[in-house]
Structure 1
Amino acid sequence: MSKTRRTFTPEDRYSIVQESLRDGHSETCRKYNLSPSLLRKWRNRYLNKGKEGLRDSYPRVDPQVRALEEENERLKRIIAKQALEIEVKSELLKKTPIGLRKS
């Protein structure tokens, strides 16, 4: 049986931490099937930073924004390649004698 990753909102974390402070650490871990270290981490964050400490520490990136960023990077690479080609061609034209240039 594979374990699925559960996600908890900051409000869920807050209520679980409050319950652990009220009813006890091990009881709450058993009730919600949490590892004691995870609940201890949430509890320490709450005690140090308050409710703000229970928020996600990493920003969630919208998939649409991520796709746009990837497209932007791809287009930047294309433009850089074209700029390099233009620069190389202009350097070659400077070195080519005028009589040999095609018009």
Structure 2
Amino acid sequence: MKKFTIDQIIRILAEADTPGNSVAATARKYGVSEQTIYRWRKKYRGFSASEAKRLKALEEENARLKRLLAEKELEIQALTQVIKKNF
């Protein structure tokens, strides 16, 4: 699986949207599926490269915070069980 940067994705989408280019041809050129281009288009349409980078950073931060919350909930659950056993 190839990893593309946000800048590359934005450029690929712009290329796919130019008159005379098809999604299929652009997908073949970059070695991705047409579905990948459509997924990127759905996610990043209308974004500039900086806005798309900001979105990705926010998604990563959100995932990190969700993991942290899950860990804390597990700790609370474990401590609650220990307290119940002691009383």
Shift of 1:69: 4.8
**2:13 maps to what in 1?**
17
TM-score, normalised on structure 1?
A: 0.50
- CA change 1:68–1:33 in 2 (3 A) is same
Percent of aligned pairs with the same amino acid:
22
Structure 1 unaligned blocks of 5 or more: 88-103
Shift of 1:81: 1.6
Task: Write the distance in 1 (CA, Å) between the matches of 2:41 and 2:73.
Answer: 41
- CA change 1:37–1:74 in 2 (3 A) is closer
Which AA in structure 1 matches 2:29? K
Within a 5 Å distance, the mapping from 1:1-80 to structure 2 comes to 5-22=1-18, 24-25=21-22, 26-45=24-43, 46=45, 50-51=46-47, 55-56=55-56, 59-60=59-60, 61-62=63-64, 66=67, 69-70=70-71, 72-80=72-80
Which AA in structure 2 matches 1:24? N
**1:81 maps to what in 2?**
81
Runs of 4+ in 1 over 6 A off after TM superposition: none
Q: When the two structures are aligned, how many residues end up with a matched partner?
A: 76
Deviation per CA, 1:33-70: give whole Å up to 9, x if none: 11112213333551xxx1157955x82334xx847853
Structure 2 unaligned blocks of 5 or more: none
